[in-house]
Amino acid sequence: MLSVRDLHAGYGNKTVLQGVSLDVPQGAVIALLGANGAGKSTLLKSIVGLLERSSGTIELNGHPLPNATPDRALKAGVALVPEQRELFLTLSVEDNLRLGGFLRRRSHQLDAECERLLTIFPALRKRTAQPARTLSGGEQQMLAIARALMGRPSILLLDEPSLGLAPKIVEEIFDIVRQIRAEGTAVLLVEQNAAMALDVAEYGYVMDLGEVTMKGSADELKASSMIRNSYL
Amino acid sequence: MLAQVLVSSVTAGAVYALIALGFVLIHKGTGVVHFGYGDQVTFGAYLVLIAQMAVTGLPFWPAVFIALVVSALLGALIYGGFMWPLRNASLLAKIIASLALGTVLREFVRAFMGPNAWPFPFLLSQTAVPVGGVLVVPANLAIVGVSLGILAILFLLFEKTLFGKAIMAACDNRIGASLIGVRVSHVFLLIWVVASVLATVAGVLVAPLLTLSPDMGLIGIKGFTAAVLGGFNSLPGAVLGGILLGILEALVGTYISSALKDMISYGILIAVILIRPQGLLGGLLVKKV
Ligand SMILES: Nc1ncnc2c1ncn2[C@@H]1O[C@H](COP(=O)(O)OP(=O)(O)OP(=O)(O)O)[C@@H](O)[C@H]1O
Ligand SMILES: [Mg+2]
C-alpha cells in the first residue's frame, strides 16, 4: 500500500537518494538493510516529510503523499520512530504518550489508547509520571514506538530500534514488531541486525550509496552470499 | 507594617511575573533572550496613547483593545520578519536582532511621542480602602487581579490542555513535535504573538505605577531578573521569581533604603548567576514544564 517511486532527496544541494523505489504491502514487515551512510534514515525522513524530496512520488493506498508536510503524512497514516527517538525529554512519559495522539485529540479516545499501549509496553506503566529523560535507553525506545502508535498509523517506519540496546531488550523490541504486525499495522524496519530483521520480515531491501542494490524475500536474502558476507 | 509592605509589593511582583513569563516563553520557543522585550512593554503602553491620538475621543478601554491587537500583529511581524528568517542563524545574530528591535521601538516612541513622561490612567481608583487592618488600593488590586488571571489562564493552558502540551513539546524537541503532527512554525508564531500581547498587558499595568517615558523599558531588567531567579526555563519559576523580587524590593525599600531598591535586581542577578545559575526551580524545571 505504501509505494515509493524513483525518489530523490538530500540535504541542501547534496543529493543522497538517487532514485529509490520500494513497496510496503498492507500489514507486512519489510526489512531495509544497508551499510552506514547508505541513506536509510534519509529515505524514512523523506517518506514522512521531515525532509523535502526533490523528485519522485510516494503513494499510500493510491493517494500521493504531499511533500515535506509531516502532519499530513501522519494524518494519512504514516508514522516514523526516528533513529534519535526525538522524545520530549522534559515532559512526562504520559504527556509524551498522549501527544502521540495530538492530531486525534478526543481526550476520551486518548485515554483508552494510552491504556492499550501501556498493556503492550508494561515497562512504561509505572513510569507514567516521570520525565522522559529519566528513562533507560530501552524504555525510551519503547516510549518512542508507543508515541508513534498513538496516532494509529497504518504503516510504522522504525529506524534502528535496537540500536545500543541490550540483547534482552532487543528481543523484546522484535516481539513488539511482531505484535504490531499482528494488529494489522505494516512495518518498514531499518536494522543493522540483519539476521533478526530477516527473521521477522517477509521481504527485504538492501541499500548502498543512495540506491537499492538488492531486494528479495527474507529467505532469498538470508541465502545470498553478499548478505552473508556483509551483514550476517 | 510588614503586612502592608507585603500587600503593596505583590503589585510590582505580579507585573514582574508577567514580564518574566514573556522572557521565558520566548526563550523556550526560540532559544533567545529577547533583550528588546522591556521596550516592547513600553511600546505597548504607548500604543494605547497613540490609538487615542489617532482616533479623537476614543475611550481608554477600546484604546487598550486596539493596543492589544496591534501588539499581536507586531509579534507576528517580529517572528515573520526577523526570527523565522534568522532561525538557523547564530545565537549572536539573534541577540543582536532582538536588541536592535528594542532600540527601534524605543527610539520610535522617543521620536514621535517625545522624550518626556506621559500621564497614564490606573485601571481602578487610587483611593486606599482598609481591608482587615491593611490598606488596599483598588488600582493595585486590579494590577494583581489581571496578572493573576492571565497567569491562571496560561497555567491551565500549559498544564491541562493537549494543545498547551504541544506548545511545550515544540519547545522541547522540534523534530519530535513535527513527527506527532504539530506545525512547529505555527507554534513559534503563536509564542511571539502571546509574548507580545503579554508585554502590552504588562505595559498598561505598569505605566501608571512608573512614569511612561521611552526609557520605561528598563523594567525589562526586573522581569529578566525574575526569570533568572526562577530558572529561566520554568513558567512557574518565572512567576515565583517575579513575586519574590517584588517582595524583596519592597522589604529593602522600606527597611533599608528606597534608593537601594533598584540595585536589588542587579544584585540578585549577579548573585543567582554566581551561586545558583540553575535558578530557584532549576532542579525542578526540567521535570515540570
Ligand atoms: N543532516 C544532514 N546533513 C547533511 N548530510 C547528511 C545529514 N544526515 C545525513 N547526511 C548524509 O547523508 C548520507 C546518508 O545518511 P543516512 O543517515 O541516511 O544513512 P543511514 O543509511 O541511515 O546510515 P546509518 O546506518 O549510519 O544510520 C550520509 O552520507 C550522511 O553523511
Ligand atoms: Mg540511519
Span B37-46, pLDDT tens digits? 999 999 999 9
Pocket of ligand 1 (CB under 6 A): A 11, 14, 16, 34, 36-42, 83
Homologous superfamily of domain range A1-77+155-232 = P-loop containing nucleotide triphosphate hydrolases (3.40.50.300)
Assigned domain for B287 exists: no
Spans of all domains in chain A:
1-77+155-232, 84-152
The answer to whether B22 and B226 are in contact (CB under 8 A) is no
CA distance A11 to B14: 47
Evaluate whether residue B282 is within a structural domain: no
Residue B55 clears pLDDT 70, i.e. is over it: yes
Q: How far is the CA of A38 from the centre of ligand 1 (A)?
A: 7
pLDDT beyond 90 at B128: no
B257 or B52: which leads in pLDDT: B52
Q: What is the mean pLDDT of residues A21-32?
A: 97
Contact (CB<8Å) B165/A148: no
Is the pLDDT reported for residue B78 higher than 70?
yes
Predicted confidence (pLDDT) at residue B235 exceeds the cutoff of 80: yes
Chain A residue with the nearest C-alpha to that of B182: A71
What's chain B's average pLDDT? 89
pLDDT at position B282 over 70 = no
Decide if B289 is inside a domain: no
A89 touches chain B (CB under 8 A): yes
Q: Does A107 touch chain B (CB under 8 A)?
A: yes
Say yes or no for a CB contact (<8 Å) between A70 and B176.
no
If you average pLDDT over every residue of chain A, what do you get?
94
The residue whose C-alpha atom lies closest to atom 2 belonging to ligand 1 is A11
CB contact under 8 A, A131 and B286: yes
**Selected residue of A50, A86, A93, A109 to mutate for chain B interface (largest B Cβ count, 10 A):** A86
Nearest residue on chain A to B171, alpha-carbon basis = A88
Residue A232: pLDDT band with limits 50, 70, 90: low
pLDDT band at B275 (very low <50, low <70, confident <90, very high): confident
For residue A29, what are the contacts with CB-CB under 8 A and spacing of at least 6? Answer: A177, A178, A181, A186, A187, A189, A200, A201, A202
Task: Note which residues in 113-132 of chain A have CB less than 8 A from chain B.
Answer: 131
CA distance A120 to A216: 31
Distance from the alpha carbon of residue A41 to the mean position of ligand 2, in angstroms: 4
State how many domains chain B has.
1
Q: Residue B158 falls within a domain, yes or no? A: yes
Lay out the sheet containing A186-190: strands in order across. A78-81, A155-159, A186-190, A29-34, A203-208, A211-217
Q: What is the pTM of this model?
A: 0.91
Question: Strand pairing partners for A11?
Answer: A14
Distance B119 CA to ligand 2 centre (A): 62
A32 alpha carbon, closest ligand: 1
Which of A99, A107, A135, A152 to substitute to test the interface with B, most B CBs within 10 Å?
Answer: A99
Residue A57 has pLDDT above 80, yes or no: yes
Across A138-147, average pLDDT: 97
Closest CA–CA distance from residue B32 to any residue of chain A (Å)? 19
| Cα–Cα distance measured from residue B190 to residue B29, given in angstroms and rounded to the nearest whole number | 10
Cα distance between residue B20 and residue B41, in whole Å: 12
Q: Which residue did the predictor score with more confidence, B21 or B2? A: B21
Q: Does any domain span residue B280?
A: no
Residue pair B45/B207 in contact (Cβ under 8 Å)? The answer is: yes
The minimum CA-CA distance between B254 and chain A, rounded to whole Å, is 40
Per the structure, the complete domain to which residue B260 belongs is given by 2-275
Task: Say which CATH number the domain at B255 has.
Answer: 1.10.3470
